[in-house]
Amino acid sequence: MQTFSVQKKAFRAAFPHTIPILAGFWFLGLTYGIYMNVSGFRFWYPMLMSVTIFAGSMEFVTVSLLLGGFHPLQAFLMTLMINARHLFYGISMLDKYRGLGWKTFYLIFGMCDESFSINYTADIPDDVDRGWFMFFVTLLNHFYWFSGAALGGVFGSLIHFDTEGLDFVMTAMFVVIFLDQWRKEKNHLSALAGIGISLLCLILFGADDFIVPAMIGILGVLTLLRKPLEPAITSSVKGGFEK
Amino acid sequence: MTVPQQLLTIAAVVLGTMATRFLPFLLFPAGKPTPKYIQYLGKALPAAVFGLLVVYCLRNVTPFSGSHGLPELISIVLVVILHLWKRQMLLSIAGGTVCYMALVQTIF
């Protein structure tokens, strides 16, 4: 149909970018669904949570919250801490996500690590609608996560794994996205600060508690480096978007 | 926990997640000019955040025990080489993942 040609074109452009996520989310989603299944939850729990929360690591944490006592305020505050990195995504996507009507709401709702990373770095062809492209990236990721979690929740105890190491697909994807960003920028101070401060905080605070200190450190260093960094960044980013 | 209590707990997590995703857009609405400092952060942060995400993926690696992080190191080096050489996102990711799976299932 002629009327859907814009959407079809955007879908065809978006889908290849989400293939690694298809592999990663089905694997992690299945693991998550199975984890809920063996923790004693009916299949509709992972289905409901994968659609409404849509933040992978937080959903694993929510399982242990559900197994503990009833402390909704504590659950809320803990979520703010674990998902605080989304604040950085929002600040980076202010220009790209605004002004797209109802799609803006869904794009922000579905802004997980992977959707943000693809929508920020992807080179969207000029003849493809940006709003629909980013919408389909988000929707496909959302669907992969939901279907993986649902399958895991329903068939949990029947599935046996010989896929050890498949979760590395997410690490490999973030390494590639980091490299693409690296090749685009003239000044690597921010990238190096991100790696360095995160590693330092990981050593100091441990795997479970390093993200918030790392974010504060990154914010502090980028604020201190604003004078030298700002001219380099604004000149290298121009032309990359704002089409 | 009863089912309504469980649903309230899930709702609290949804609310917390949405707060972290929507807050910047609520604080800096489209109608008003975004402060220069926030515009700067919007452009400077992503590179640092991608670094943070790579470290986040590797947070459970133990360099001083077990496999000493060697499967991760070897596979990441392969991802980087493949990506600088062919510049095909899917090839780099698939190559690194297959290498990692082979290493952890056979050697380590």
Kindly state whether residues A171 and A205 are assigned to the same domain: no
Which residues of chain B make contact with A23, given a CB cutoff of 8 A?
A: 97
Kindly state whether residues A180 and A191 are assigned to the same domain: no
Contact state of B12 with A53 under an 8 Å Cβ cutoff = no
Mean pLDDT across chain A, nearest whole number? 89
Contact of A82 with A58, CB cutoff 8 Å: yes
ipTM of the complex: 0.90
Of chain B, the percentage scoring pLDDT greater than 70 comes to 100
Kindly state whether residues A171 and A233 are assigned to the same domain: no
Kindly state whether residues A201 and A135 are assigned to the same domain: no
Q: Whole-angstrom Cα distance, residue A95 to residue A107? A: 13
At B33 the pLDDT is: 87
Tally the domains of chain A.
2
At A240 the pLDDT is: 41
Contact of A154 with A43, CB cutoff 8 Å: yes
Return the number of CB contacts < 8 Å for A and B.
253
Q: Which of residues 71-90 of B touch A (CB under 8 A)?
A: 71-72, 75-76, 79-80, 83-84, 89-90
| pLDDT reading at A228 higher than 80 | yes
- Kindly list the distances between the CA atom of residue B95 and the CA atoms of A52, B59, B91, in Å, as whole numbers in the listed order: 33, 22, 6
Kindly state whether residues A41 and A12 are assigned to the same domain: yes
**pLDDT tens digits, A123-139:** 999 999 999 999 999 99
Tokens of B48: 């640092």
Mean pLDDT across the stretch B44-60?
91
At A170 the pLDDT is: 84
| pLDDT reading at A242 higher than 60 | no
Question: Is residue A162 very low, low, confident or very high in pLDDT (cuts 50, 70, 90)?
Answer: low
Q: Whole-angstrom Cα distance, residue A122 to residue A15? A: 12
Kindly state whether residues A147 and A203 are assigned to the same domain: no
- Kindly list the distances between the CA atom of residue A19 and the CA atoms of A22, A70, A114, B100, in Å, as whole numbers in the listed order: 5, 39, 11, 18
DSSP A226: H
Kindly state whether residues A40 and A144 are assigned to the same domain: yes
Kindly state whether residues A133 and A198 are assigned to the same domain: no
Contact state of B59 with A72 under an 8 Å Cβ cutoff = no
Q: Whole-angstrom Cα distance, residue A202 to residue B9? A: 29
Kindly state whether residues A15 and A135 are assigned to the same domain: yes
Nearest CA to B17 out of A218, A173, A90, A194 is that of A90
Contact state of A211 with B56 under an 8 Å Cβ cutoff = yes
Give the end of a domain, one of A167, A184, A201: A184
At A125 the pLDDT is: 95
Kindly state whether residues A134 and A221 are assigned to the same domain: no
Of B21, B54, B72, the CB nearest to A90: B21
Contact state of B71 with A165 under an 8 Å Cβ cutoff = yes
At A2 the pLDDT is: 65
Question: Is residue B6 very low, low, confident or very high in pLDDT (cuts 50, 70, 90)?
Answer: very high
Give the end of a domain, one of A137, A156, A184: A184
Give the end of a domain, one of A140, A156, A184: A184
At A82 the pLDDT is: 84
Least confident of A2-6, A68-72, A120-124: A2-6
Q: Which residue has the higher pLDDT, B17 or B43?
A: B17
B91 part of contact set with chain A, CB < 8 Å:
no
Q: Measure A32 CA to nearest chain B CA, in Å.
A: 15
Q: Measure A140 CA to nearest chain B CA, in Å.
A: 17
B58 part of contact set with chain A, CB < 8 Å:
yes
Residues spanned by the domain of A225: 187-243
Mean pLDDT across the stretch A180-198?
92
Question: Is residue A235 very low, low, confident or very high in pLDDT (cuts 50, 70, 90)?
Answer: low
Of A45-59, A134-148, B37-51, give the range with the top mean pLDDT.
A134-148
B57 part of contact set with chain A, CB < 8 Å:
yes
B3 part of contact set with chain A, CB < 8 Å:
no
**pLDDT tens digits, B62-86:** 888 888 999 999 999 999 999 999 9
Kindly state whether residues A159 and A178 are assigned to the same domain: yes
Nearest CA to A161 out of A23, A31, A57 is that of A31
Mean pLDDT across the stretch A30-55?
91
Which residues of chain A make contact with B43, given a CB cutoff of 8 A?
A: 92, 233-234, 237
**pLDDT tens digits, A56-76:** 888 988 998 999 889 999 899
| pLDDT reading at A233 higher than 90 | no
Of A54-63, A105-114, B26-35, B36-45, give the range with the top mean pLDDT.
A105-114
Whether the full predicted model's pTM is greater than 0.95, yes or no, is: no
| pLDDT reading at A33 higher than 80 | yes
User: Angle A113-121/A85-97 helices, nearest 10 degrees?
Assistant: 40
Kindly state whether residues A240 and A136 are assigned to the same domain: no
Q: How many CB atoms lie within 10 A of CB A183?
A: 9
